[in-house]
Amino acid sequence: MTPLLLIEDTPSLQMVYESVLKGAGYDVVTAGTAQDGLRHFQTLRPNVVLLDLMLPDRSGLDLMRDLLEFHPETHIIVVTANGSINRAVEAMRLGAYDFLLKPFNEQRFLHAVETALGDAVRPGDRVSDRSPVASFVGSSPVMTAVYDRIASVGKSMATVFITGESGTGKEICAQAVHAGSSRAAGPFVPLNCGAIPADLLESEVFGHLKGSFTGAIADKPGAAALADGGTLFLDEICEMDLNLQTKLLRFLQTSSIQPVGAPSARKVNARIICATNRNPLEEVRRGRFREDLYYRLHVVPIHLPPLRERGEDPVLIAEQTLTRFAAEEGRNFTGLSDEVKELFRRFRWPGNVRQLLNVLRHAVVLNDGPVLTLDMLPIELHHEREWLDDALPNAPITAEAPPQVTLDGLMGKTLSEVEQLVIEETIARHGGSVPKAARVLDVSPSTLYRKLEAWKRSG
């Protein structure tokens, strides 16, 4: 086995790290300066390098750039002081595999090395060049940049933080990162943090043992355990309760989980990808998201642009989706009319791709083609076009024309019926996004999900 390369200038720490690694059966070569580290690296070509970012003769970040340029497949674990987390985050963005913040325990140290070695791509054992963006449609410049970012982060173990409006395809993006990684053969486990009540979310993430709380009638593995060897995708991460955020941070730092009711923790090797439709830094400023957790998660950001900023992409998506939906529904559609193409280009799509797909499904189910025309679209899109063409002929079509407020339709209804009408209308006006509607109504998204489920059962 190729030895590990340790680049650390403090003699006492060299001795400690060497002792721990050799005690675990690893062969280690040590360098005390950037110059010696580069010389050993060019000779050994190690799969894994442990690199202190504070070196006497050169910046560790600069050295890391040279190492990766010489041998891009090397997995570099950077080591830095706890007060220098921004430098560690910068290192991850530049291509580091993982980072360790001093002080760290022996378990965390060895787990980072073990994981890096397990994921290292050795000569002749490369991951196939499958496209990580196969589920996306569109060729606009903003999406091309997204595809490039997905391809570049796939091989890394770095946590990925996906942002974007509701309906832009954040889960598809997470799946693409997973599919382009060395963990593609492992499980991809998604969990929507906004759809689960706060008192049950800990159990959903970390699992529980039988009898650990009322209703725990059997042992249940959590999403983190199910993702062992693969990827855990935490959607709507900003909806997570602050107390659970603390436990998630501990999991990220130790790679260990402790199910509810379990006497001890266990190791889990899962890559974390998270997503939100909020501004995470604003959530930190408002005290709703832990700053240390933000910096631990926000290593490689990917922002998905709204559909209205993607140029010709709405038409491309519509054409491909129309063909697929027509086949699924047994319809005879062959394409879009020129008027529909123009409408799709100008419409602002507050619900983004999800709204576009719903519009197409509606049209295909109720019509048979062969060409999708304006009169086949849902009535709200048709009315919106007529309203804007009369008022502002050259303006982009928007779904945000101010409605006329009236109580006439609410008179005579019970309070619970009024509540249902208001909630459903608010969700509809925000492109079907429950989290957005929850913010407008000043309630938790999980509250709305529970009400919607109850109405569905009673309906």
For residue range 121-147, list pLDDT tens digits in order.
443 343 333 333 557 888 888 898 888
Nearest one of 243, 270, 238 to 254, comparing CA atoms:
270
Write out the residue limits of the CATH 1.10.10 domain(s) in the chain.
Answer: 408-458
Which stretches of 148-263 are assigned E, i.e. beta strand?
Answer: 160-163, 188-192, 207-208, 220-221, 231-235, 256-257
8 Å CB contact between 80 and 50:
no
Please give the average per-residue pLDDT across 423-441, as a whole number.
81
Tell me what pLDDT residue 417 has.
Answer: 80
Tell me what pLDDT residue 182 has.
Answer: 83
Tell me what pLDDT residue 363 has.
Answer: 92
Global pTM value: 0.63
Which stretches of 317-416 are assigned E, i.e. beta strand?
Answer: 335-336, 371-372
DSSP 8-state symbol, 367: -
Residue of higher predicted confidence among 457 and 388: 457
Residue of higher predicted confidence among 221 and 439: 221
What sign for the dihedral angle of Cα 327, 329, 332, 333? negative
Tell me what pLDDT residue 139 has.
Answer: 86
Please give the average per-residue pLDDT across 115-121, as a whole number.
69
Tell me what pLDDT residue 288 has.
Answer: 92
8 Å CB contact between 229 and 187:
yes
What sign for the dihedral angle of Cα 211, 215, 219, 225? negative
Tell me what pLDDT residue 72 has.
Answer: 79
Write out the residue limits of the CATH 1.10.8.60 domain(s) in the chain.
Answer: 310-391
Please give the Cα distance from 88 to 82 (Å, whole number): 9
What sign for the dihedral angle of Cα 163, 165, 166, 169? negative
Tell me what pLDDT residue 408 has.
Answer: 55
Kind of pairing between the strands at 266-267 and 256-257: antiparallel
Write out the residue limits of the CATH 3.40.50.2300 domain(s) in the chain.
Answer: 4-119
**What is the CATH T-level fold of the domain 141-303, as seen in this structure?**
Rossmann fold (3.40.50)
What is the percent of the chain where pLDDT is above 90?
A: 37
**What would the pLDDT profile of 314-340 be if each residue is shown by its tens digit?**
999 999 999 989 998 899 999 999 999
Say whether pLDDT at 236 is over 80: yes
Please give the average per-residue pLDDT across 193-215, as a whole number.
86
**What is the CATH T-level fold of the domain 310-391, as seen in this structure?**
Helicase, Ruva Protein; domain 3 (1.10.8)
The domain made up of 408-458 is a member of CATH 1.10.10: yes
Please give the average per-residue pLDDT across 79-95, as a whole number.
74
Q: Which CATH architecture has domain 4-119?
A: 3-Layer(aba) Sandwich (3.40)
